[in-house]
């Protein structure tokens, strides 16, 4: 293992020339900590248990060694030798894009399959032969059931975002897929958190894994400049408009709402205030989502309003601000959200709007991140209810006397839904 203090370069990691060239083409100068820790054991053929969330560079951490190992034992006829299982279509698409980026100087085929679209094209691509399949669990099981996919030749299996699979209720599907894999294989297991169910699954799947872990959830939050505004529910849009109009430093902003309707409503209201925004969520067509994302990535669109599921894994650099228009009731979600503004080590700003009903959620969040989120009390839409008593952390931060914390947040099941984008595939050179 390469100690982090050495600041390793990609060539220190025993990556082959075509991969070094691909990362250099991608503009990466040095590996991220998860890459530095995971790539060497993965290249040696070891299983890897990675505790890392999106934004740490984990996709390359498993994609680069996978490509290299498949390329080392290249077979002339493309046959299914590697499977990446991931919970959402967006993540699947992005992993497919990563394969195209990192594998551009080798001769491997991959395709991406997910539900919500017709299966015809996906089946055709599978029939043509692929080395690597990136899939969401439902569609994978469908196509396996129809006899279009045979996992008996899998040499490398990646389970991505295992904790999210659990949250989304996919664990039974994941277990069915695993049952169809050969026992002898290399497995990479990635999860942002390691609750007991996930740890048990990892123990079942991995043999003597190299354990790599980066940026525990509470330290990710430390890099981000966070503020909370206490505000009445009905004034949140006006507060957002006021902030957008008064602060020029707010550039690319990702706004989170709890519901799809909330996202649509907000986009409409912003439009009425003369502020252009687009929503992405599961009820939007794939075309609409891609248009919105494209506009946002190119900088034409300053505001993207998203639900948690739609935003998960969206790969956008340069987000200056995250706004929690609604506070999430699952505190980990808060960290996932605000982490979107601090990609690959950058810093960012996160604003949270907290109405009276959401105050207990704030207490949960502060407990998780072990930080007091500074309040902005001097704003145009102060709350009609008195400000809450200081939380434990706030008391400590300000030296005030201790008072009780808030109530407990309920765990929220993440809903899926929405439509589709076609599976991508890269041709042999």
Which of these ranges, 12-20, 57-65, 114-122, 125-133, lies near ligand AMP under the rule CB under 6 A? Answer: 57-65
Per DSSP, the residues of 366-392 read HHHHTSPPPB---SSS--SSPPPPPPH
Contact pick of 51, 54, 108, 140 for ligand AMP (by CB under 6 A): 54
Q: Work out whether 28 is an interface residue with ligand AMP (CB under 6 A).
A: yes
Q: Work out whether 60 is an interface residue with ligand AMP (CB under 6 A).
A: yes
CA atoms within 13 A on the CB side of 36: 16
Which of these ranges, 25-33, 228-236, 238-246, 253-261, lies near ligand AMP under the rule CB under 6 A? Answer: 25-33
Measured at CB, which residue is nearest to ligand AMP?
Answer: 59
Min separation Cβ 18 and ligand AMP, Å: 17
Contact pick of 15, 39, 50, 58 for ligand AMP (by CB under 6 A): 58
Q: Are strands 48-51 and 186-191 parallel, antiparallel or unpaired?
A: parallel
Q: For Cα atoms 68, 88, 336, give the angle at the middle one, nearest 5 degrees.
A: 95
Which of these ranges, 26-34, 78-86, 149-157, 356-364, lies near ligand AMP under the rule CB under 6 A? Answer: 26-34
> Of the two residues 60 and 198, which places its CB atom closer to ligand AMP in the complex?
60
Contact pick of 31, 209, 360, 383 for ligand AMP (by CB under 6 A): 31
> Of the two residues 27 and 427, which places its CB atom closer to ligand AMP in the complex?
27
> Of the two residues 57 and 383, which places its CB atom closer to ligand AMP in the complex?
57
Contact pick of 1, 4, 207, 344 for ligand AMP (by CB under 6 A): 344
Do 212 and 37 form a contact (C-beta atoms < 8 A)? yes
Min separation Cβ 272 and ligand AMP, Å: 34
Residue closest to 131 by CA, chosen among 113, 108, 103: 108
Residue closest to 190 by CA, chosen among 168, 166, 212: 212
How many angstroms separate the CA atoms of 356 and 420, rounded?
Answer: 37
CB-neighbour burial class of residue 313 (10 A; exposed 0-12, middle 13-18, buried 19+): buried
CA atoms within 13 A on the CB side of 32: 23
Q: Work out whether 422 is an interface residue with ligand AMP (CB under 6 A).
A: no
Q: Work out whether 59 is an interface residue with ligand AMP (CB under 6 A).
A: yes
> Of the two residues 213 and 264, which places its CB atom closer to ligand AMP in the complex?
213
Phi then psi for residue 84, to 5 deg, are: -115, 120
Q: Work out whether 317 is an interface residue with ligand AMP (CB under 6 A).
A: yes
Contact pick of 55, 115, 383, 423 for ligand AMP (by CB under 6 A): 55
Q: Work out whether 315 is an interface residue with ligand AMP (CB under 6 A).
A: yes
| Cβ neighbours of 317 (radius 10 Å) | 10
Contact pick of 40, 50, 57, 406 for ligand AMP (by CB under 6 A): 57
Q: How far is CA 270 from the centre of its chain?
A: 27
Min separation Cβ 101 and ligand AMP, Å: 8
**Which tokens hold the place of 359?**
């105050």
> Of the two residues 80 and 192, which places its CB atom closer to ligand AMP in the complex?
192
Q: Work out whether 343 is an interface residue with ligand AMP (CB under 6 A).
A: yes
Which of these ranges, 49-57, 160-168, 200-208, 231-239, lies near ligand AMP under the rule CB under 6 A? Answer: 49-57
Cα–Cα distance list, 5 to 8, 30, 230, 246 (Å): 8, 13, 42, 42
Which of these ranges, 48-56, 295-303, 321-329, 351-359, lies near ligand AMP under the rule CB under 6 A? Answer: 48-56
| Sign, Cα dihedral of 99, 104, 106, 107 | positive
Q: Tell me which residues in 374-393 interact with ligand AMP (CB under 6 A).
A: none
Alpha-helical segments (H) within 89-151: 89-102, 120-128, 137-145
Min separation Cβ 385 and ligand AMP, Å: 39
Q: Work out whether 8 is an interface residue with ligand AMP (CB under 6 A).
A: no
160 three-class SS: coil
70 three-class SS: helix
Residue closest to 409 by CA, chosen among 363, 352, 375: 363
- Residues lying near ligand AMP in the complex (CB under 6 A) are found at 28, 31-32, 35, 54-60, 315, 317, 343-344
């Amino acid at each position: 293992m390469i100690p982090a203090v050495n600041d390793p370069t990609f060539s220190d990691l025993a990556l082959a020339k075509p991969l070094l060239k691909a990362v250099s083409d991608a503009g990466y100068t040095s590996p991220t900590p998860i890459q530095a820790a995971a790539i060497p054991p993965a290249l040696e053929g070891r299983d890897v248990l990675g505790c890392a969330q999106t934004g740490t560079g984990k996709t390359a951490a498993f994609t680069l060694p996978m490509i290299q190992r498949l390329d080392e034992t290249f077979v002339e006829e493309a046959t299914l030798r590697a499977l990446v299982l991931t919970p959402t279509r967006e993540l699947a698409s992005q992993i497919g894009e990563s394969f195209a980026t990192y594998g551009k100087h080798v001769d491997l085929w991959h395709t991406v399959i997910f539900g919500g679209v017709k299966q015809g094209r996906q089946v055709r691509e599978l029939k043509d032969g692929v080395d690597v399949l990136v899939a969401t669990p439902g569609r994978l099981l469908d196509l396996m059931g129809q006899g279009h996919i045979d996992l008996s030749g899998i040499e490398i299996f990646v389970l991505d975002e295992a904790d999210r699979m659990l949250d989304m209720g996919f664990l039974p599907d994941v277990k069915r897929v695993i049952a169809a894999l050969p026992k002898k294989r290399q497995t990479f297991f990635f999860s942002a958190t390691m609750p007991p169910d996930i740890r048990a699954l990892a123990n079942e799947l991995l043999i003597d894994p190299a354990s790599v872990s980066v940026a525990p959830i509470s330290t990710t939050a430390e890099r981000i400049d966070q503020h909370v505004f206490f505000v009445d529910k009905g004034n949140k849009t006006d507060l957002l408009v006021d902030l957008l109009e008064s602060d020029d430093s707010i550039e690319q902003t990702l706004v989170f709402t709890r519901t799809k309707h909330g996202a649509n409503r907000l986009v409409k209201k912003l439009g009425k205030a003369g502020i252009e925004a687009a929503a992405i969520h599961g009820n939007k067509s794939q075309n609409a989502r891609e248009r919105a994302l494209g506009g946002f990535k190119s900088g034409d669109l300053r505001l993207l309003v998203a639900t948690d599921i739609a935003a998960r894994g969206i790969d956008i650099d340069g987000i200056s601000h995250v706004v929690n228009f609604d506070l999430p009731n699952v505190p980990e979600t808060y960290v996932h959200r605000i982490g979107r503004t601090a990609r690959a080590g950058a810093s960012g700003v996160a604003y949270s709007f907290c109405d009276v009903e959401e105050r207990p959620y704030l207490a949960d969040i502060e407990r998780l991140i072990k930080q007091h989120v500074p309040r902005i009390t001097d704003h145009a839409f102060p709350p009609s209810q008195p400000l809450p008593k200081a939380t434990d952390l706030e008391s400590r931060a300000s030296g005030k006397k201790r008072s009780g914390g808030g109530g407990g947040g309920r765990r929220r099941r993440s809903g899926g839904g929405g439509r589709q984008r076609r599976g991508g595939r890269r041709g042999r050179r």
